[in-house]
Structure 1
């Protein structure tokens, strides 16, 4: 990025302050939109609306002027007052998601206390809902970083070029501003040429909002609770002074339910047919099912276990899943007996909570998992119970057909799976914790009322919700650019996953949302040993970052797991933000000689090797004689001239 002169662009004068105030009032809607979209996507829309207005209203300069990039030339068409306001707003919005120095990485960032105004009591504010295009953009933005969302707005709404947007982000404290701008460019494919129009729609306008009352019964309870708080404090103090006093250990799991902020009567329930009449096909469209949805005692115990879990409740959660109680009344998805044990499934819009009642000597259980961006596939099933090498699932109401198949046997047809009227499946075998004798998966089909001819695969990796498996075929094999992952139900996808399935084991229990197997290159092996296929398998987590495994499928082992040639953690490689890849490995030819093999994705034009092996070749593949051991560094050149290092230089 060109070097820009940095200076204080708002003098400490009354005229400059008036100029900034005028700019704020004239551009108020756009500035609020910038703050609203930059704020963490995990916040509720009500909270983001208030924080966005607060960030804009506190953006007027005080005694300390903001230091932001100055225009390249005095008459360069840049409004200094507007730029200074944008920097302050971005800095405030970005700071909300930051952890203070020394804050534990395992804990969510603390809430930043912004000025108290504006304050809204008794109402919830949220922008009006948009159409399908706006919803797709919302999902794309929620998966991007806050800085990238800010850059996206600066480019498409404020009309700034990439250099100017990066300069403003850097002035707001973004450490890698250019990378954030490049990430925002990757969002352009989701919005297309209508990005600016979509961002100006009502879905993203935090100044034109709808209002709804807050939870009226909960407000009444909180008022009564506040009046009783003093008496409770006195009783608690007296209990602490009593020598024989002890807390009850059976409150959340035994026969005495705990009083919490929510009771069974507060639970929300979706209408049975809501899934067919909404553009948001996820857990919010699940109706309450099961034969114990009216059992208030059971539901109160489940809510108590989530709100205040005692020692008698075994709590498990996936990584980066908050364990705090729900902030609003949860939605009831299921309550019933599964294998002679009561199970309650709840959702607060961002997490699933599965409560399992105690059984004999076994304690009650509470399992929590993130599902904050679920869709028609990732919200298609939930594990209700596991045991004896099998599991029962609760299928989404839009699932019309279910079967099981073994990924290791791609030619074997799927076996029909019985599903009860309440959506509970028969017991399904699960993959063993060790070995790779079988890899059973669910094959489900969505109702034509929401999408035609849509079948997909889900694999149980030990989480509360199964993992969506997809496949991206080799370029030039009937795949028009841009390449998009497709469902892994076709013959070509099943053959690829038969060699890939055994490499899923390291991701068990890792809060994985989806796994895509991308065949990015095909290579003719030396000595006419056939053709090999290079694959990048990416496991995307609910949190956002993903891990990749680089695999090589050789023809001499058609039924064996693919060779693992590299791994990388927390990387954008092999995603829509990392569409270029090059990898390498040693390979032993049939006559015993060793070769260095390397291959790159579609945009690679040249591959170079250095170190123990020196060589280069124009094209997307490289095969040169090499010693069995010795450090080798491989890099590629893209059609843009950019140098691309290998994804996993450390080897598996």
Structure 2
């Protein structure tokens, strides 16, 4: 038990503290208390509301009444505790316990719960309040974004445990004690879950002052402000005035209505006559879900659920009605396509409207029901039947929910961009050194036409979108998307080779020079993934090998494609030196429905034949990921080598089985 724990445990038994002591601790450590509340509170509140609630909880932690402090003897001052500035003083410990209890309880009880707020304290409960502005913490980097997304799916106890361990820097024992005192049923489980969550989101996460929880992304005392929707606010004021008039008229007629008693409407509902309209509710365009224009900037869930309805025909009820009716009961003439694993059943609830407008002469409606995105297209030729395209888009995020394909006209595509995209460019993966070009975007979010990769059957270019998110989401975050034939474009990422003694590296955006050079030698392998429902493709340089005969250095690359439905497939390729910067890597082995080269399969071993440029002799090359310590080959050739790579002479086309010994003593089989 460290000094801080001993101080806090002792202070907990010294009796109540005065309001003056508590106020001093509150003022000095106010940012820490607000941060603890902000991290623990439910992310579903949205960033604006969560900031205000966190400040309110911290301010209400101040005791309401002064209590006399105990004296050990007349005229003898009591024993001094650690000063509040240390973070271990009794005043700060008491305030932190109050903030923790209230933050954990906030998401469990509705606001109207009896006794939640004492009557004399109701005004203090609603403060602070902000009118006409939206407030939110500063946007962070990729690590902060990954951690925020991971926390949004965790329970309050897990978020609190992570805040206490990493933001408050408490020991595991003290964290468990505080959680238990705050009413958490299984504090040890919450602590273990928090540690797993952080490692899953950040890999080998930073510690101490470098931890993402201590960044501006999680600091509700340092906020940005933006105005609310000014037009909507003006409209609400007018609506409120009209509502007062209606309320006055209703109040005058209310006694007449009360004398009528239960009528035919109640009897129809009881007999089920009105229940027949429930099915019609789903296909009524007036019931479509529409997000507010600025909702994406005030939520921790940045995906298709916060896309506002856009397009010049978003209020065309006739078009929307046809789209919903065709989805619910398509005629035989309707052309329907769906990505693997995507159902085409009618929606169970009114879907969300993303877009309705005219693009390239066709009427297009984009709808989302939470798990699927559906595109309804009425061709420009009225004699042609409509088209329905289905794709799984559940569990989307700021990147995989950043764009949708609106139309494919000839050799080009147009995309509808998410409202959080601030910058749009195009680039050619087969020209890694060339700068990107500007891409025009209409006011409704639809881009200019972008050439489709390999549309002519050749692979002499590979156009991709290079997008940058708004700083309200994450700062300086650019990423690449490519069209592989589905509604949702595919996210391209890159994992650099392992460093000397470095921990496992995480996939990063494929916008750097090394990533673009690597993708230039991989892009023309992508056509095999068209129409497969792929969500993201990552290029991982898992090993680098010095070749025999002074032939240079080769890169072993595992290209992994993850689908929206879950299963993934991998292609291991050998990228040899001395060839064209856009020469395709040599395919070594391909596997389907595997966890290899993912966070659930972080170790890989593969081999290939190679001909020496000087001697003309053939070699068996093999390479494993960073924790491989020894490689053994059996079968057509028997050999072994220390380290993560092996090169031995072997007959051309020899069949060998590879096995590796890992750093922890386990065995890894070669990928087949």
Inter-partner Cα distance in structure 2 for 1:224 and 1:337: 44
**1:419, 1:426 within 8 Å by CA — same for their partners in 2?**
yes
- How much does 1:229 deviate? 9.3
Q: Which runs of 5+ in 2 are unaligned?
A: 1-106, 111-144, 156-184, 206-264
User: How many residues in Structure 1 have an aligned counterpart in Structure 2?
Assistant: 436
Of 469, 479, 483, the residue aligned with 2:492 is 469
After TM superposition, list the pairs within 5 Å mapping 1:148-227 onto structure 2: 157=186, 189-190=199-200, 227=273
Inter-partner Cα distance in structure 1 for 2:329 and 2:573: 45
- How much does 1:457 deviate? 0.1
- 1:385/1:223 CA distance change after superposition, 3 Å: farther
Q: Which residue number in structure 2 is paired with residue 608 of structure 1?
A: 632
Q: Which residue number in structure 1 is paired with residue 621 of structure 2?
A: 597
- How much does 1:612 deviate? 1.0
Verify: 1:580 aligned to 2:603, yes or no: yes
- 1:157/1:520 CA distance change after superposition, 3 Å: farther
**2:320, 2:365 within 8 Å by CA — same for their partners in 1?**
yes
- How much does 1:134 deviate? 7.5
Inter-partner Cα distance in structure 1 for 2:558 and 2:661: 19
Q: Which residue number in structure 2 is paired with residue 80 of structure 1?
A: none
Of 336, 339, 344, the residue aligned with 2:357 is 336
SS in 1 for 2:413: strand
Verify: 1:439 aligned to 2:462, yes or no: yes
SS in 2 for 1:557: coil
SS in 2 for 1:564: strand
Q: Which residue number in structure 2 is paired with residue 136 of structure 1?
A: 150
**1:331, 1:346 within 8 Å by CA — same for their partners in 2?**
yes
Inter-partner Cα distance in structure 2 for 1:608 and 1:400: 51
After TM superposition, list the pairs within 5 Å mapping 1:422-433 onto structure 2: 422-432=444-454
- 1:496/1:133 CA distance change after superposition, 3 Å: closer
- How much does 1:543 deviate? 1.2
Of 449, 467, 472, the residue aligned with 2:472 is 449
- 1:335/1:590 CA distance change after superposition, 3 Å: same
Verify: 1:517 aligned to 2:539, yes or no: yes
- How much does 1:126 deviate? 10
**1:384, 1:394 within 8 Å by CA — same for their partners in 2?**
yes
Inter-partner Cα distance in structure 2 for 1:266 and 1:368: 21
Verify: 1:261 aligned to 2:307, yes or no: no
Q: Which residue number in structure 1 is paired with residue 327 of structure 2?
A: 306
- How much does 1:133 deviate? 5.6
Inter-partner Cα distance in structure 1 for 2:438 and 2:153: 33
Q: Deviations over 1:346-383 (max 9, x none)?
A: 11111101100143243201111111110000011100
SS in 2 for 1:312: coil
Inter-partner Cα distance in structure 2 for 1:644 and 1:134: 34
Over alpha carbons, which structure has the higher Rg? Answer: 2
- 1:294/1:127 CA distance change after superposition, 3 Å: farther
- How much does 1:139 deviate? 5.4
Q: Which range moved further: 568-577 or 427-436?
A: 427-436
Q: Which residue number in structure 1 is paired with residue 241 of structure 2?
A: none
- 1:625/1:395 CA distance change after superposition, 3 Å: same
Inter-partner Cα distance in structure 1 for 2:654 and 2:269: 72
Inter-partner Cα distance in structure 2 for 1:261 and 1:451: 36
- 1:126/1:333 CA distance change after superposition, 3 Å: farther
**1:267, 1:329 within 8 Å by CA — same for their partners in 2?**
yes
- How much does 1:261 deviate? 3.3
- How much does 1:431 deviate? 1.1
SS in 1 for 2:310: coil
- How much does 1:483 deviate? 1.1
- 1:480/1:286 CA distance change after superposition, 3 Å: farther
Verify: 1:489 aligned to 2:499, yes or no: no
Q: Which residue number in structure 2 is paired with residue 633 of structure 1?
A: 657
SS in 2 for 1:227: coil
Inter-partner Cα distance in structure 2 for 1:432 and 1:271: 38
Verify: 1:284 aligned to 2:328, yes or no: no
- 1:132/1:617 CA distance change after superposition, 3 Å: closer
- 1:404/1:635 CA distance change after superposition, 3 Å: same
Q: Deviations over 1:330-354 (max 9, x none)?
A: 1111000000110000111111011
Inter-partner Cα distance in structure 2 for 1:466 and 1:380: 9
- 1:501/1:327 CA distance change after superposition, 3 Å: same
Q: Which residue number in structure 2 is paired with residue 622 of structure 1?
A: 646
Q: Which runs of 5+ in 1 are unaligned?
A: 1-124, 142-155, 161-180, 195-218, 232-257
Of 558, 562, 565, the residue aligned with 1:536 is 558
Q: Deviations over 1:252-291 (max 9, x none)?
A: xxxxxx9673211000111111111111111111111100
SS in 1 for 2:322: helix
Q: Which residue number in structure 1 is paired with residue 218 of structure 2?
A: none
Between structures 1 and 2, the one with greater helix share: 2
After TM superposition, list the pairs within 5 Å mapping 1:36-51 onto structure 2: none
**1:186, 1:577 within 8 Å by CA — same for their partners in 2?**
no
After TM superposition, list the pairs within 5 Å mapping 1:114-125 onto structure 2: none
Q: Which residue number in structure 2 is paired with residue 118 of structure 1?
A: none
SS in 2 for 1:432: coil
Inter-partner Cα distance in structure 2 for 1:127 and 1:390: 52
What's the TM-score, normalizing by structure 1? 0.63
Inter-partner Cα distance in structure 2 for 1:339 and 1:139: 40
Q: Deviations over 1:381-420 (max 9, x none)?
A: 1000002110000011111111111101101110100001
Verify: 1:568 aligned to 2:591, yes or no: yes
Q: Which residue number in structure 1 is paired with residue 569 of structure 2?
A: 547
- How much does 1:190 deviate? 2.8
- How much does 1:630 deviate? 2.7
SS in 2 for 1:495: helix
- How much does 1:546 deviate? 0.8
**1:186, 1:576 within 8 Å by CA — same for their partners in 2?**
no
The RMSD of aligned alpha carbons is 3.2
Q: Which residue number in structure 2 is paired with residue 646 of structure 1?
A: 670
Q: Which residue number in structure 1 is paired with residue 432 of structure 2?
A: 410
SS in 2 for 1:556: coil
SS in 2 for 1:326: coil
